[in-house]
Amino acid sequence: MNVQEIDQIFAETAYIRTSGSQEELTCAKYLQKKCEEIGLQAYLEPFEVDMAEIEEATLLADGREITCKGYFCAGSGEVEGNLYYLTNTDSYSLKQCKDKIVLLDGGLGYWTYQDILEHGAAGFITYTGNANYADDDIDQKELRSYVSKGNKIPGVNINAKDAIEIVRNDVKSAKIVLKQEETKGTSHNVVLDLPGETDEIIVLTAHYDSTPLSNGAYDNMSGSIGLLAIAENFAKKSHRYSLRFIWCGSEERGLLGSKAYCCRHEAELEKIVLNINLDMIGCIMGKFLAFCTTEEKMVHYIEYFASEMGFGIEAKNAVHSSDSTPFADKGIPAVSFARAASENTATIHNRYDTLKVMKAGQMKKDIEFVNHFVDRMANAKQCPVKREIPKNMKEDLDIYMCRKREKDKV
């Protein structure tokens, strides 16, 4: 795949494609068509996702209306009470949440929600955006089902500038009105098989959906293009291990596509020896990283291999917040590649994630390195990484999957 073809795909997918939307399906079919253009037959595999249509979302702060967006799947209701800014999650601070509408820093994580729910919060407010940006964008957020577990209180999201003003003005009371229709929708994984000499499989993944404000060039059409290029390369040559390419839908809503795949194909997972994931490559700035949810030997293997190839890399044992994680959680060694830029040069999950932060030439270099790595794995007499997840990585997976708190880590 040359730089012109890379730029063309970026241009043709420069639109918002959120989970379960028509635009996400359009992109899935587009990727399927791109596979057909290189002589390969991919298929769409549907899975169910929660959806919602907001009918009304209102936030009053001391009687003044604040522009907001209601949380998808947070139910419907009207709550009013004193406003409390939760700056810390120590025992004393959490006890102050009772019967209050709680303004949260840092978004709505699993444990934060469980804590404020346990301590009797009536509703919640989060904020996104950046106080130093010119825009007043508000991201559309969601109370995920694994977070709520059916226990829902109304919540809204506001812009960071308004959150600052609420605290600056020492707002005393708040009222949230949230009305929505919650339904079920469909998202899709795009799957392509390239059989090898053995029925053991290396699975390659990248997500193609975006967040509600983003065209998602960097996060993660870049990884999706990478998979297309690798598939094109291996369509022309033999390989020992079978290769399965999965362009995952709904990653941005909690890795839903890869989770759905692992759930539906659980009986087949024992044949998978390795997962290789691409999430955010090819941007102009940033260092190339390898997150290895594997035995530590894989970290050193990748470092030595990159040195051999003359390619700069930093490899580490880590659980990456991407589609590699559900595979690792099922006991499959997983490596996730990313080119990580600072927020000053390539930010994500907002309107600034566009082709402007990408460089087709860098994309080509990153893809070439991954291609060589996949070739080494795909043609190995035996996959060099053990098919097991070490104890320390299992504990990190427990934390990521919200089975254990970070503070309880041994």
Structural domains of the chain in order of their starting residue, each with its CATH number: 3-50+186-400 (3.40.630.10), 63-171 (3.50.30.30)
Residue with tokens 């918002």: 16
Q: Tell me: the pLDDT tens digits for 16-57?
A: 999 999 999 999 999 999 999 999 999 999 999 999 999 999
Tell me the pLDDT tens digit for each residue of 336-353.
Answer: 999 999 999 999 999 999
Cα(83)–Cα(145) distance, integer angstroms? 25
* Residues 84, 18: Cα–Cα separation, whole Å: 32
- Mean pLDDT, residues 252-278 taken together: 97
Contact 72, 155 (CB under 8 A): no
Q: Is pLDDT at 218 greater than 80 in this prediction?
A: yes
Neighbour tally for 255: CB within 10 Å: 25
pLDDT > 70 fraction of the chain, expressed in percent and rounded: 99
pTM over 0.85: yes
> 128 near 160, Cβ under 8 Å?
yes
∠ CA 43-49-55, nearest 5°, is: 135
Find all residues with CB under 8 Å of 180, minimum gap 6, and list them. Answer: 52, 53, 54, 55, 57, 70, 72, 73, 74, 75, 76
Give the whole-angstrom CA distance, residue 262 versus residue 258.
6
| Three-state DSSP class for residue 275 | strand
Q: What is the pLDDT of residue 406?
A: 85
- Which tokens belong to 154? 């109304």
Average pLDDT of the chain? 97
At residue 410, the pLDDT reads 56
